[in-house]
Each structure stands twice: as structure tokens, then as C-alpha cells.
Amino acid sequence: VLIATGRSPNIDGLNLSNVDVTLNKDGYIETDDYGRTTSSSENTIYALGDVCGKVELTPMAIAAGRRLADRLFGPNMSDVKVSYDFVPTVVFSHPPIGTIGLTEKEAISKYGKENVTIHKSKFANMYYGPWPVEAEDKPKTAMKLICAGRNELVVGLHVIGMGADEMLQGFGIAIKMGATKADFDATVAIHPTASEEFVTMFPWGLSPPVSGAKHSPLNGNTPPEPELG
């Protein structure tokens, strides 16, 4: 049983009304992209982390805090800000659940059903292969790739099963960089792992040969080279 009741921001003792800090309908502090509140105070009042209700995760708050410190104290960094898009998220349940990007419903709402392609897979993790139980009784792993547009840009990745928590960080980088289904297919699988299913998912090798990378890895292209001093 998974209970996800959520929580309310603990701001009652801050007397925010005295400095005209606006709250939204759910009681979170309203901020702009740079963490600035609506305060009329002579000094800018910033808010970040869970009290803003954007992405309520500890690493997200840390990232926002780092960027705020960069803006306030860093050299030539007055315009840097944190991104709340494509944040890898894990539910540490049993089995764990990993998710990044849009759900199928959100993708269809944003791009239209005709522009969304869904790839799915369900299997028993090879870890359970030697278990002396029937195949249908072995714990399953389920995966879903959500792609949008003619280039099949990966806009959502979701997995439940053993190792979901560990595999999300790497796929998070790829999706943040604009990976397409073709980019996934161009990546050689690590066998035997569960995560290899994401780069061998049916139909394999049939997506439009379009890469989201600045330096395309498709069709056996040479890897990028560093820009040396």
C-alpha cells in the first residue's frame, strides 16, 4: 500500500503577510524563475525549496540554493537559474519506482495524441531467473518510454522494478540533453541488466535517424572531441 498524502509548507510563523509575500491557492510561496518573492520589502526576499511547491525534493532545493548563491555572490552569474524540467524522481518503495518527464496523459495533452509514441515493456528481471518459481510468479519490471514529434524526442521515462532507482540518474542526463528514441537505440546495451531494455525496446532501430545530441552518435559516428586550450 502506497500512501502519498503530501504535506503543507510550514510557514505559519514567518509572518509573511507583513512583507506582502504572496501565497498561491495551496499555501505555497509564489516566486519568479529566480526565487524572488512578491515582497514589497526594501530588501529582496527569496524563497526556495519545498515552501515554493514546485518540485518538492531535497536535491532540487539544494540546486536552487546553489544557483541563488551563484547569482548573489558569483562573478558574472547574475542571470543563472535552476531548471525544474526533467527532474529524475524515485519512490523508494518495494520495488522502487523511477520517473522523469511527462506522463502519457500529460504528453498527449501537451502535444496531441497523433504526435505521441509510446514504447512499453514488461519482464521478469534476470536476477530472478534461478528462482524455483513459475515464470508468472516472478517479480516483474515494467518500463515505458514516451516520445513526441517526428523526431521521437524522449519526453518521459518511467520504470518500476529492481534497480529503477539506480538507473534513473543516467537516463536523466540523456533526457535532459534532448535524447531521441534513435539515440537510445544507438547506445549499446549492458548485459545482463534491466536497464538494457530501455536501449533495446521494440521497435528497435526503426525510429527516424534524428539525434538530439549536439554531436550525433548515430550510424557509427565518431565520438566528440574536447575543445582544448
Catalytic residue list: 191
DSSP-derived pairing of the beta strands 97-101 and 89-91? antiparallel
Give, in degrees to the nearest 5, the angle at Cα 136 between 133 and 138. Answer: 55
Query: H-type helices in 57-159, by residue range?
Result: 58-73, 104-111
With H, G, I as helix, E, B as strand and everything else as coil, classify residue 207.
Answer: coil
Which cell goes with 173?
A: 542526463
CB 49 within 8 A of CB 64: yes
Residue 189, amino acid: A
Which cell goes with 2?
A: 502506497
Which residue has cell 502519457? 104
Angstrom distance (rounded) from CA 205 to CA 81 = 37
CB 177 within 8 A of CB 204: no
With H, G, I as helix, E, B as strand and everything else as coil, classify residue 17.
Answer: helix
Angstrom distance (rounded) from CA 27 to CA 6 = 13
With H, G, I as helix, E, B as strand and everything else as coil, classify residue 132.
Answer: coil
